[in-house]
Structure 1
Amino acid sequence: MSSAGMFTPTNKKVARLYWYFVAAVVGVLVFRRVVDRVRVWQLRRNQQQPQRIPGRPQNAFEQCYDTTIAICRELAYPQLWTCTGKFSRYFTPPPLGRCLLLLVYWAVILTMLWSNVILAPSASNYAYRWEIVGFRAAWVSITQLPLIYILSGKANIITMLTGISYERLNWLHRWVGRTIFLTVIVHWSYFFTEWTIADFVSFELKIMPMVKYGFGAWATLGWMVITGFGFFRNLSYELWFLQHLAAALVLLWLVHKHVPSYAAYNVWFAVGVIVLDRLVRTVMSLVINLHLDPSKTQNVSSRRRIGYEAEVTSLSNEFLLVKIRNVGFSWRPGQHVYLSIPRAGVFEAHPFTIASVPSSISGADGPNDVQLYLRVHNGFTKRLQRQCQRQLRPRAFLSFISGPWGNPPSVERFESMVFVAAGNGASFTFPMFQQAVRTNNHLRQISFVWIFRQAEQLDWFKEQLLSAWTTARKRNVRVNIHAFITGSAPDSVQTPSEGRPLIEQRSHADPSRGEKPGDGLPPSTEKNESIKKGDTGIVRETSVSSSASSLISEQPTIAINYGRPDPDSLVRPMVEEAWGETGIIACGGCHFTGQMRNCVARLSDERGVHKGTGAQGIYLFCETYGW
């Protein structure tokens, strides 16, 4: 093992090149963030100039930049295929953009691993042909270790610099871990081959305790890789998280015992990353839950000096509504919090998207209330639902909050916007829709589309949707609101809303066009409308709609549709009528967001966005259930 010194200088240089590569990628993302921020700042300065159209290039630099971005988007958006089986869905590949990034990453790793280590028989150091590869693979492996822990943290340096939220980096965290697992195999297999040829495997294991720690670290990493697949995570997330956290700490200890002192800085780098993440999260949680921020203290209810009061209402067997009263913080629409309710699970905290907007955006007087719509699954939400399902009134619980987390896109940069959500995904798109109609001074047209199973779900946001419609029309913004009901036929819907039927029973869908359950969006072509006028607006019924655009009414209108829409019909009308960049915000399951990705990529390529045709940019942001 004394031959390690022969290869250390070169291997350290390779390790530095790896972090130069990571820094270069982060630098490109920071540059893009800065450019986007500057353009949004310019829009704010020029908001009194109606001729300034968001997203439309104003000079040669912007034209070149937008063309490059359009090409990158067309490469990044497509979803190669989506598996929908109960087990096969866990083998759905990442979108094309992520696949290409992985290929680049693997090309870098392979270059680092095999460059100048394959020795010819005539080489002077040919006797070390096994060790030179083994040591190189060791450095390639240990060098990647800190990146795993950086990508796993909520408060990490990459998120702070690039603005990419931690949950959108989680996929890369898993793939880097799988890559290290393979490079470690190269590391020990080359050494093991040499020991086998020399016939001193048992002697090596006896005199070198570090070898045993190395095999232990590899086994621990292998366990984390195998259990990290979605199938195992979803069996019992709480149990999976605890064992994964314990394994991550054990892995660091084993690696520290295995590596020589001159490479241990990688382990301490990872430890520092963990300490920083936990320190930031702990301080944030203490400030929020102990109400330590003086500027927010006066708005917090005196009933809770520690934590918050969470009122939980059982909406159905599938959904819960949680209202957290008088929170001592603000948030951006689209962000999420980690909610902990000790009565439903001690030491458990689960992420939920905030479905309401802060008072600074809504304009309402008084303190902020956080609303969360929870889909009932096994575990935490199931236990909470059991305690509330027979209650006639909301039940109050002591709760604790961590957050807010996430970095949703800015709505100020778009001239046209389309919000598309499936099921509970409206918790993400609806607050951003409210923000867009109230704060985007350059917005000209907007469409909100919600696809859900049961008609009573419309009651979650119906009044707020109608209010947002009115706000948009007052600002001279063209607005369409469409609801697609997929779980019941129009003649069977009898859902009370404010003491009157939500949907009249004059509309009948063609039974021959019955829809199959799932996330698929088959085309819809037939239309059958009826209109219901109420005190606050119009609910327009449509059995199946062929397009997301409709005639603009002068009264608040929600178009009720039956069936599943074609993604192209939701996006194309708005894109073709846009004068500047169109922002599309989608939230739903993997199959749903995959179809939206393919639709937008195909439409962008067809229109030749920013390639001399005059077609303006199309931006897509997909939020997917499950991380």
Structure 2
Amino acid sequence: MEFLVARQEAEGAGGAGGRSAGQKVTDAVTSVVKSAAAAATEAATGKSGKGESSGKGESSAKGASSGKSSGGGLVNGMDKATRKALLKARIYRANYIMWWVTTGVIGAIAILYLLRMWRAHQIRKRVAAKRAAGAAATNGKRGSALGAAHAGWANLAYVRTWPLWIYGSTSAAEWFWTAAYTGICLGVGFWGCISPIDGKLDYANPIGVVAFAQMPLIVGLASRNNVISYMTGISYEKLNYLHRASGRVCVLTTWLHTLGWFHKGLGKHGPGTKIFLSGMLGSVAVLVLWLTSFQIVRKTVYELFLFFHITMGIMFIVASYYHWPRMAEWTWIALLLWGIDRFVAFARLFFHNKTWLMWSSARHAEHSGSVVELIDDDVVRVTVNRPLFRWSPGQHAFLTMPGVAMLRYEQHPFTIVNIPDESGDVVFIFRALQGFTRRLVNRLDSTTTTDINAYIEGPYGGEGFGHGIGHGPLQQHDAVILIAGGTGISASCSQFLNTIKCSREGTTAVASCRLVWNVRSPRALSWIAPLLNAEFAKGAGSTKFHIDVYLTRSAVSDDPTVEGQKDPAQFASLEDSPEGSPAGSTENVNEKTSSTGSMGGADEKWIAAAGISPTVAQIVQFHKGRSPLETIIRDDTLNATGEGDGVGVAVCGPTSLSMAARDAVVAVNRPSAIAAGHQQEIHFHSEVFGW
């Protein structure tokens, strides 16, 4: 590495005249070797700097000759050009160390992911074979010190969240990885700032190199199609916190570099020079990008955030390239990763939408059409028929509607509510808020419109290539609890439908699957009624299914408390209360005695209005109030047989819903009970609205 940088320095040094590049490299390498030999000789003979000066030896003479061409004297037997070359080599090595550590961690996580996928497959295979043979369920609960330790670790690191000032609540694992990455970058960065010759610290340039080295990771982690997701099973949106961590390191090191130069003096790089103008442009661009990336901006003016994120990001990369062209490899790698992502995304779009057939006006409508329905107050269902499109439960796709978008081909992510079938339909359900979704509702001529062109690109999310084996991420568990709030039903419904399908085909370990839906009105059940009816009509296998609909009156969000508080006044003006259901009642409309218990008049009216089939009606229960998540999770966990891999709890909805579910899981997932064999471990999965 020292020779590589010495070569670069030699090529830029004066006193070379018209010599060839090969001669320059030879001279630079020879200088390093001779200097090292001289230093070794001095150490062996005990000569000091004073002796060297008085002795006028050959080494000193040669060093002086070498130093003359570079304009500097000797320090520790090395001329100025050699010292600069070695310092630059140290800086480069520091950044390569950062990338070696990052690559090693990614490789370790990839190995763990493969082992986890193999274990899940073995559990599904074993339990499914046992059920196919007609064997009765047995109590597989047994004390597990390893399971107890893992539960305690998961509660602390992943499930429980902690406030992080303006960044919202963050898990300890995200804290750790963010702090570890930042520490590694700054640690190796400042290590590279220390001169290997005299030990002096000069951080301005070395810390700027750290900023350059962040660009490939920032762009790579922001890409939907990135190799890290496929290797580790961690989808790009869940890697986003590392994208943010790398971005913060880039902002910090960029401004340390900028302020460092202001502190030491700009010299010949002052205002008006290309290096100054490009440097200030890049510094301001990355600062604006950071300031417009806070959660409050993303939630309130998402399209403005997206505009600044893209434009400022491009401006920073271009400015960095012109600021110091010798570091251009980092910018080219970042642009290459962006190009690969866009190429793969375009290929998906081209293939799934049969774009090659759209040149014919007669076939354009057939392959770009969509059905848009206003199925409830501000709730939209979009159906596009794409037979070539395949996805796994819980995944999402990007929807493009040129006739609705502000920017013609802008894309918006929505979770797919159904699972693949022979019809080829892809269904999305979402609530119209502002921006694109509000424009779509305003575009409707009636409750149903079929003349809006739509294109989908994806799928994304889920658990990487592990979905390729045809199973969702929950099918190895003994019991599954799906918790949804409002239109968060999209992810939960697809997982529920997939469990029905896997149970029918005998490819799941799930013995019990419960869907808990917090929603404002019983009318909401009609959103997914056609999907439930169609899937149950094909058969449900041996898994026991339950659907609990909790009716809230929250105008802000469909979020539960941990223990389902029920305020009588909350329901005093419930417009949807049918006859026979007192408006102020705080009791369940139908007290649940079993999954197929007799239904009260309220349930019957609401189920009939939703269009639920008699088969599905047997497993549906309505409740007033917010779901008592801790009670639900505890009951289903204690009733789990232990044949599968514990209990899976998956939540999708607003942040408040995710927080309530996390608190409930931590309260129930007790390491002491798992170690004693009283219950199974709980595995938590979360999808949250927004970024």
Q: Tell me the TM-score range normalised by the shorter chain.
A: 0.7 to 0.9
Name the CA shift for 1:69/1:53 in 2 (closer, same or farther; >3 Å).
farther
Task: Kindly report the root-mean-square deviation, in angstroms, between the aligned alpha carbons of the 2 structures.
Answer: 3.6
- Pick the aligned partner of 1:340 from 382, 395, 400: 400
Mapped pair 1:209 → 2:290:
no
Work out the CA distance in 1 between the residues paired with 2:108 and 2:482: 28
- Superposition map of 1:108-119 within 5 A: 108-115=184-191, 117=193
- Counterpart in the other structure of 2:579: 505
Which of the two has greater helix per residue?
2
1:481 is paired with a residue whose SS is strand
- Counterpart in the other structure of 2:688: 624
> How much has 1:44 moved relative to structure 2?
4.8
TM-score, structure 1 normalization? 0.80
Mapped pair 1:73 → 2:144:
no
Tell me the amino acid that sits aligned with residue 478 of structure 1.
K
Work out the CA distance in 2 between the residues paired with 1:607 and 1:72: 13
- Pick the aligned partner of 2:246 from 164, 176, 196: 176
Q: Calculate percent identity across the aligned residue pairs.
A: 22
1:48 is paired with a residue whose SS is helix
- Counterpart in the other structure of 1:419: 482
Mapped pair 1:331 → 2:388:
no
Name the CA shift for 1:73/1:312 in 2 (closer, same or farther; >3 Å).
same
- Pick the aligned partner of 2:170 from 72, 94, 117: 94
- Counterpart in the other structure of 2:623: 561
Name the CA shift for 1:589/1:353 in 2 (closer, same or farther; >3 Å).
same
- Counterpart in the other structure of 2:221: 151
Q: Deviations over 1:63-112 (max 9, x none)?
A: 787566434422223444579xxxx9x64132222112222222222322
Name the CA shift for 1:431/1:208 in 2 (closer, same or farther; >3 Å).
same
Tell me the amino acid that sits aligned with residue 274 of structure 2.
P
Q: Is the 8 A contact 1:490 1:508 kept in 2?
A: no
Name the CA shift for 1:205/1:6 in 2 (closer, same or farther; >3 Å).
farther
Q: 366-375 or 305-314: which moved more? A: 305-314
Name the CA shift for 1:376/1:54 in 2 (closer, same or farther; >3 Å).
farther
Tell me the amino acid that sits aligned with residue 574 of structure 1.
D
- Counterpart in the other structure of 2:546: 480
Name the CA shift for 1:306/1:277 in 2 (closer, same or farther; >3 Å).
farther
> How much has 1:607 moved relative to structure 2?
4.5
Name the CA shift for 1:420/1:462 in 2 (closer, same or farther; >3 Å).
same
Q: Is the 8 A contact 1:55 1:616 kept in 2?
A: no
Mapped pair 1:349 → 2:422:
no
Tell me the amino acid that sits aligned with residue 151 of structure 2.
A
Name the CA shift for 1:604/1:430 in 2 (closer, same or farther; >3 Å).
same
Mapped pair 1:245 → 2:310:
yes
- Pick the aligned partner of 1:311 from 365, 371, 391: 371
1:421 is paired with a residue whose SS is strand
Name the CA shift for 1:539/1:527 in 2 (closer, same or farther; >3 Å).
closer
Work out the CA distance in 1 between the residues paired with 2:158 and 2:225: 27
Mapped pair 1:221 → 2:286:
yes
Work out the CA distance in 2 between the residues paired with 1:112 and 1:337: 39
- Pick the aligned partner of 2:347 from 263, 272, 283: 283
- Counterpart in the other structure of 1:428: 491
Tell me the amino acid that sits aligned with residue 622 of structure 1.
S
- Counterpart in the other structure of 2:319: 254
Q: 103-112 or 580-589: which moved more? A: 103-112
Equivalent pairs counted in the alignment come to 560
Q: Is the 8 A contact 2:418 2:426 kept in 1?
A: yes
Tell me the amino acid that sits aligned with residue 396 of structure 1.
D
Q: Deviations over 1:239-298 (max 9, x none)?
A: 43233222222211111112251x3221111111111101111111111222569xxx9x
Tell me the amino acid that sits aligned with residue 663 of structure 2.
N
Q: Is the 8 A contact 1:469 1:479 kept in 2?
A: no
1:279 is paired with a residue whose SS is helix
TM-score, structure 2 normalization? 0.73
Work out the CA distance in 1 between the residues paired with 2:657 and 2:263: 48
Who wins on radius of gyration, i.e. which is larger? 2
Work out the CA distance in 1 between the residues paired with 2:344 and 2:115: 28
Name the CA shift for 1:110/1:400 in 2 (closer, same or farther; >3 Å).
same
- Counterpart in the other structure of 1:547: none
Name the CA shift for 1:219/1:494 in 2 (closer, same or farther; >3 Å).
closer
Work out the CA distance in 2 between the residues paired with 1:463 and 1:354: 15
- Superposition map of 1:114-125 within 5 A: 114-115=190-191, 117=193, 125=198
Tell me the amino acid that sits aligned with residue 371 of structure 1.
V
Tell me the amino acid that sits aligned with residue 205 of structure 2.
F
> How much has 1:582 moved relative to structure 2?
0.9
Mapped pair 1:529 → 2:600:
no
- Counterpart in the other structure of 2:441: 385
Structure 2, unpaired ranges of 5+: 1-8, 10-80, 464-471, 555-569, 593-597, 604-614
- Counterpart in the other structure of 1:520: none
> How much has 1:476 moved relative to structure 2?
2.7
> How much has 1:53 moved relative to structure 2?
9.2
Q: Is the 8 A contact 2:162 2:172 kept in 1?
A: no
- Counterpart in the other structure of 2:90: 10
Q: Is the 8 A contact 1:55 1:414 kept in 2?
A: no
Tell me the amino acid that sits aligned with residue 384 of structure 1.
L
Mapped pair 1:453 → 2:516:
no
Q: Is the 8 A contact 1:220 1:247 kept in 2?
A: yes
Work out the CA distance in 1 between the residues paired with 2:373 and 2:631: 36
Q: Deviations over 1:6-53 (max 9, x none)?
A: 411112221111112211221222112101221233235433134799
Q: Is the 8 A contact 2:512 2:543 kept in 1?
A: yes
2:669 is paired with a residue whose SS is helix
- Pick the aligned partner of 2:458 from 392, 398, 403: 403
> How much has 1:618 moved relative to structure 2?
1.4
- Counterpart in the other structure of 2:657: 592
Work out the CA distance in 2 between the residues paired with 1:449 and 1:607: 27
- Counterpart in the other structure of 2:380: 320
Name the CA shift for 1:554/1:330 in 2 (closer, same or farther; >3 Å).
closer
> How much has 1:588 moved relative to structure 2?
0.8
2:176 is paired with a residue whose SS is helix
> How much has 1:384 moved relative to structure 2?
1.2
